[in-house]
Each structure stands twice: as structure tokens, then as C-alpha cells.
Structure 1
Amino acid sequence: MSNQKNFTEGKILGPLLKFAIPVLLALFLQSLYGAVDLMIVGKFAEPADVSGVSTGSQIMMTLTNLVSSLSMGMTVFLGQKIGERKASDGGKIVANGIMLFLSTGLFLTAFISLFAGNLASIMNAPEEAYGLTVSYIRICGAGAVVIISYNLIGSIFRGLGDSVTPLVTVLIACACNIIGDLTLVAGFKMGTKGAAIATVAAQLISVVISLLMISKKELPFKLDRFCFKLNKEIIKKIVFIGAPVALQDLLVGISFLVILAIVNSLGVIASAGVGVAEKVCAFIMLIPSAFAQSMSAFVSQNRGAGKYDRALKGLRYVIGVSFIFAVFMFYSAFFHGDLLSVIFAKDAEVVAASWDYLKAYAIDCLFTCFLFCFIGFFNGMEYTRFVMVQGIVGAFLVRIPVSYIMSKQEPVSLFHIGLATPCSTVTQIIMCFICLFVLKRKLRGKNSK
């Protein structure tokens, strides 16, 4: 495959950056994909529609992230085989992964359709936005298999060291979503329902076109009908690596849903404001997110090749580069958050609420450049259980308690509630440094034998 990269030889930073740029662009388009819904709804509909899309998309993102995080097991497993020079095993890994995730997608379709109302209620969706929230969740839930397939394609190719193909799939989906939103929301005034339909339709088109493209690619392994034979050992390995990451992401996502539920109880303006801030945050966190995904692919290959020093050097490089951008993102969000928020909303009160919440995320930017790179590193090293533990500690022992306590302080400030996130990040970074120290000692002991 022409886009496949071997990270176990040669220079480190150059190839890593070259790999990370398409990942960054894909994440940007993915964020734009989600932001377009809110942007167009914010411009052509009412605050209740903004709240409905905000809450509904947050729920859907949490559920789909559960599956896409589980697919990290396949990304890391494939990377290890490439590092071990056993790429030919990839066909069985990919086939079993497809069977695993499509069956999960069918379960989610049934679950979301049945419990859409319960999910909206749990989230304290404001009364005037409740029905819109349920509609968004139900429509997107009906397309869960499509959404999962869309994310699965990216995970497979990142494991092969190919970050270009996932970029193309996201580009197709983003273009289709913009066209769909403009047609259904701005043109036919369908509001929240139009945004949900556009989301699912765009990803369906992307999956179909992507499969046609992939069928013409030269893969480093054979993927035929004989590969689609259930292999319990492969399934077990994918789940063993991916389940802790998925559980961590699910629980972290739940913690953010709890915070959103707390904010929703403050009214539709606060709810819409935080929804807008979350969309802005998706953009300002792009660079550390791109490096996290890139590190997983880079480190898994070097771990497979036994080149641990090279993996550690890669970690230091990406943290340094990520921090430079983090300073700029902090300045933009903290001092000019209103200019960023007005892109997604026309209501002055919603913009002001969003900026207030964004100031806390701006502070978090200075820390996530460390945390996200650490998470990518430890995932690649197959320390996924540690990634799970640090995520749970940050979410449930810091983020939720701090946000709840702050919500009870008068006068209530979205900035103070938002400070729960950087408090959690600092705690998780401390845990990562401790784990890194233990890992280095373990590696030194192994080398001395």
C-alpha cells in the first residue's frame, strides 16, 4: 500500500508529523462535520433547536466513541503485527473486527431507538428542547451501524500506518453533511430533525464510496471470504486491548454528560452555551488529539519491533510540538472566546455563556498537550488498563465532584463549573508521569538481563 508507513526505522519527528497531518485534517473535518449541524441550526433555528442538537449529539458521541475506542484494539493489534513483520495476519484481524463491530452496531440501533426518551430525560433536557432532543437521538440511533462502519474504516487504516484514507472518508462525509444541512435545515426549515438526517445520510454515502475506493487499494494482506471465520483468539485480543480504552472513554463521556445534565438544569441558555463551547473545544483540542492517535500507531509498531527507546523519543518530540500550539489555543479561547462562539450561535446570551465556559477549557489546553500524548503512548504500549484507570479517576473523583460543587456556589458561573476539566487533567498527568517512571524502570531491568 503506497500510504502505509513503517515507523520502526529512520527519522522520528519528520515521519510522525507527516503521518499526524492527515490525522489532524481528518479530525478537523470530523469536528467541522459535527459543528456544521450546530452552526446551521444556530443560524437558522431557535435556541431550543441548538439545545436539542447539543444534548443529542453529546449522547450519540458518547455511544459511538464507545465502539470507536474499542476499535483501538484493532489499530494497536495491526500495528504490532506490522512491527513484527507479520502484516499477512491482518486479513483475519480486520475480518473478525468487522464482525465484532457490526454486531455491536445492531445492538446499539435497537437500544437507542427504544430508550431515546430515557436518555433525554437522564440528561435533564430542557422542557422546550426535550422533544427535539429525542428526535435527534432516535434518528441518529437508527443509523448506528452506518456511524460505526464509518469510524471503523479509519481505525483499520491508521493501524496500517495509513492516515490518508481516513482523511478521504471524512472529507466525503463532511461535504455531504454540509450539503444535507443546508438543504434540510436552512432550506426546508427542518431544524433538529434535518440535522440528524443529514448526519446519518452523509456517513452512509461516505461508507459506500470508501468501500469502493478500498476495494481498489493494494493491501499488505489478503481480505477474502475465508478470513470471515470467527476466531475467538483474535476477538479476545482486540477486546483485551480495546475494552479498557472503550470503558475509559465511555465513563469519561458519561462524566461530561453528567456535567451537561448539571448545566441543563440551569436553563436553555446555559445548555445552548455549553453546547456551543463544546463544539469550539472540539477544534482547539485538535492538535493533541491528532498526536494521540498518531502516537498509538507509532508506538505500537515500535513495541512490536522491540524498539522502546525510539517510542520514548517519539513521545518527547510530540509533547514539545503540541505544547507550542497549546499556548496559541489558550490565548485564542481565553481572550477571544466570544469571536469563536459567534460562529455557531446568533443569540448574544448564548455566546456570552459559551465564552464563560470556554475560558476553563482554554486553561485545559495547556495541560492536554501532555495528557493526550501520554494516552496515545500508553495505548500503543498496550497499557490500556492504566489508561482506563487514570481516565476513571479523573472523571469520577475529580471532574464530576468539582463541577457539582461549583454549580452550587452563588452566583453560579459556567467558568467555575468548567474548571473541573483542567483539575481532572492535572490529576491524570501526575498519574501518567508515575506510570512512565515505573515503565522506564521495568525496561531498564529488562535490558540489564
Structure 2
Amino acid sequence: MKDLTREHELKTIFLFSLPILVGNLFQQLYNLADTVIVGNFLGKECLAAVGFSFQIHYLLIALSMGISMGASILVSRYFGSKDMESAKKVMDTGFAFCFCLSLIIAALGICFSYQILLVFRVPSALLEAADIYLKIMFIGVIPTFAYNALTNILRGMGDSKTPTYILIVAALLNIVLDILFIKAFGMGVAGAAFATVLSQLLSFIVCMVYMKIHYRSLFINVLHLQFDKEELKKSLKIGTPAMIQQVFVSVGFMSLQFLINGFGTDCMAAYTAASKVDAFAEMPALNLGQAMTNFTAQNLGAKRKDRVLKGGKYALVMGIAVSACISVVIV
């Protein structure tokens, strides 16, 4: 655990956001590895199929991050005010809600994946490969939602390093499994999807074990969850605007994908490759926002509004400077 209410605001925000940035960069490696390996070993048709499915996957990640954000903010606030009993209720409730929601989304996605592809005008030559990949990725929604719920809780307690270490290991494992399943076992796009899902499952398991060892009093015991409707209402009230924001961004990208799909396989493959650059470019600003969320919540819980205002100014300057530098490099 890390107390975000003590040290200098700029130093605290920077050091807290840095592991989040590294972690999210490795999160992008999941799909980047699929893109590079699929493109080289299976060709542009499979690359285009994986590229569209990534947009759906991105939407689901945005949904899970937005929903669990509310729980993370409440945990930060209770942690700042040293109310660990309420923090535990929020953690249990948020995890239970995310898990149940992921089961529903996974079931619906598996049933209607083919219809989704038809709605977005995916070329007929890509439908079979895209459908296989998307169905498997919907299975991966369950460990993804559960893992994101846990990592947001850890960040709420000021621990931004542990999720990063876990993501680094999982991303490297994903690359190894990609090559093994695609090249050695000849599983095609299904191999890429299975590699991603297994890596996500590992992330969740390791995170659970870590919390069991280091946060025994706050450990989420799935057999004895404390589900609190009032805490869920508070969490959703805070997290829903963040979720809507994330989802609208994702829907915007899916709208572009809808238009691009009409131009055929070559354009789909090109857009898939180029969009990875855009995803990396956006990371620093998004991560700074995540860090400020937990910084603000902890300091409000500790009744340190002065630090919130100072931290906001420092974060704004850092965000503008970093975004300007990245824009120049990309252009």
C-alpha cells in the first residue's frame, strides 16, 4: 500500500503514474504481438480478421475499466480516511459485480459474434477466421474483467507497481504462446486468441495469489463475499460516467472500422497496423488521468483538498508537455 497524501504532489503523481504507464504499454503488447505474429505467419487476411476483433476487445476492456473505476475511487477514499472495513466491502462488491457482468457479456458475445461481424460489414472471406477469433476472445472477457477489478483495487490502495509486474510477465508469456500455438501447432488465428486468453487468466491468478499473501485482511474470498447494495450504488454512480466516456471513445473507433471494412482486406490490414501506433501514443495521457483519479480520491478521503488542487495543476502541465512531445514524434 502507498499513502498518496504525504509527499510532494508532483513527485507523488509522477512516481505513481509511471508503473501504470509501463503496465498499460505491456497491455498493448497483447494485441500488438497478435498483430505482428499473425501478420507475418498467417498473412494479411488473418491480420485483417484479428484487427476488427481487436476493436470489439478494446470496447470490452474499456467497459471493464470504466465499471471498476468507481470501486477503485471508493477504495482510495476509504483508504485515505483509514476506513478499511468499508474498503473491504467495496472490494468484494465490485469484484462480484464485475464477475457476474463478465459472464453475461461472454455468453451473449459467443452466441452473437457472427451477427456482430455481419453488422460491421466484415468481408465474407474473413468471416470464418474473425468469428473463431472473436468467440475465443469473448471467453477471455471473464478473466479480463476479474483482473481489471483487482488491479484497480490495488491502485486504489496506492499499489501501482504490482499490476505492472504481473502484466509484464503475462505479455511476454503471450508472445511465447502466440509463436507456439501459431507456428508450432498450426492453430491459426485461434492460436493467437487462446494465447491472449491464457495470458489474461494467468494475470488474474497471480494477482489473486499476491493479494492472498500481501493483503490478507483485504483478500477477496470468492466463497465469502460481502455484497453491499449501497456501496454498489455509490460505485456505479462514480464509475458510470468514466465507463460512458471510455465506451464512446471505443464506439468512435468502431465507427471508423465500419467504414474501413467497406474498402476491403488491404485497407483493414493497413488500419490494423497503424491503429497500434495511435494506441501507444494515447497511453501517457490516459495513464496520467488514472493516476490523478486515485491521487484525488485518497486526498479527498484525508480531507486534503489543497493537495488535490495542486496535483491537478501539475498533472495538467505534465499532460500537455508529454502529449506535445509525442505528437511531434508521431507526425
Give the distance between the partners of 2:217 and 2:295, measured in 1 at CA. Answer: 18
Give the distance between the partners of 1:190 and 1:77, measured in 2 at CA. Answer: 43
Which residue number in structure 2 is paired with residue 286 of structure 1?
Answer: 283
- Which AA in structure 1 matches 2:69? M
Which residue number in structure 2 is paired with residue 84 of structure 1?
Answer: 81
Which residue number in structure 2 is paired with residue 321 of structure 1?
Answer: 318
Contact 1:13 1:317 in 2 (8 A): yes
Give the distance between the partners of 1:318 and 1:189, measured in 2 at CA. Answer: 47
- Which AA in structure 2 matches 1:60? H
Give the distance between the partners of 1:13 and 1:260, measured in 2 at CA. Answer: 39
Which residue number in structure 2 is paired with residue 44 of structure 1?
Answer: 41
Which residue number in structure 2 is paired with residue 240 of structure 1?
Answer: 237
Secondary structure, aligned partner of 1:215 = helix
Secondary structure, aligned partner of 1:285 = helix
Contact 1:88 1:222 in 2 (8 A): no
Q: Return the TM-score normalized by structure 2.
A: 0.94
5+ residue gaps, structure 2 = none
Q: How does 1:273-422 map to 2 (within 5 A)?
A: 273-334=270-331
Contact 2:72 2:156 in 1 (8 A): yes
Give the distance between the partners of 2:163 and 2:217, measured in 1 at CA. Answer: 17
Q: Deviations over 1:207-226 (max 9, x none)?
A: 22222222110357465579
1:17 partnered with 2:11: no
Which residue number in structure 1 is paired with residue 92 of structure 2?
Answer: 95
Displacement of 1:64 after TM fit?
Answer: 3.0
Give the distance between the partners of 2:291 and 2:182, measured in 1 at CA. Answer: 35
From the superposition, tell whether residues 226 and 305 of structure 1 become closer, same or farther in structure 2 (CA, over 3 Å).
Answer: farther
1:178 partnered with 2:175: yes
Q: Which has the larger radius of gyration?
A: 1
Q: Which residue of 254, 264, 269 corresponds with 1:267?
A: 264
Which residue number in structure 2 is paired with residue 8 of structure 1?
Answer: 5
Let me know the Cα RMSD of the aligned residues: 1.8
Contact 2:75 2:90 in 1 (8 A): yes
Which residue number in structure 1 is paired with residue 255 of structure 2?
Answer: 258
Displacement of 1:48 after TM fit?
Answer: 1.0
Which residue number in structure 1 is paired with residue 139 of structure 2?
Answer: 142
Q: Deviations over 1:414-446 (max 9, x none)?
A: xxxxxxxxxxxxxxxxxxxxxxxxxxxxxxxxx
Q: Return the TM-score normalized by structure 1.
A: 0.70
Spell out structure 1 runs of 4+ moving beyond 4 A.
Answer: 219-227
From the superposition, tell whether residues 187 and 14 of structure 1 become closer, same or farther in structure 2 (CA, over 3 Å).
Answer: same
Which residue number in structure 2 is paired with residue 59 of structure 1?
Answer: 56
Contact 2:79 2:298 in 1 (8 A): yes
- Which AA in structure 1 matches 2:288? F
Identity among equivalent pairs (%):
27
1:215 partnered with 2:212: yes
Give the distance between the partners of 1:317 and 1:24, measured in 2 at CA. Answer: 17
Q: Deviations over 1:380-414 (max 9, x none)?
A: xxxxxxxxxxxxxxxxxxxxxxxxxxxxxxxxxxx
Q: Deviations over 1:40-91 (max 9, x none)?
A: 1111121111111110011122023212210001011111112222133221
Give the distance between the partners of 1:7 and 1:170, measured in 2 at CA. Answer: 23
5+ residue gaps, structure 1 = 335-449
Give the distance between the partners of 1:77 and 1:303, measured in 2 at CA. Answer: 10
Which residue number in structure 2 is paired with residue 111 of structure 1?
Answer: 108
Which residue number in structure 1 is paired with residue 151 of structure 2?
Answer: 154
- Which AA in structure 2 matches 1:196? A
- Which AA in structure 2 matches 1:172? V
Higher relative contact order (CA 8 A, sep 6+): 2
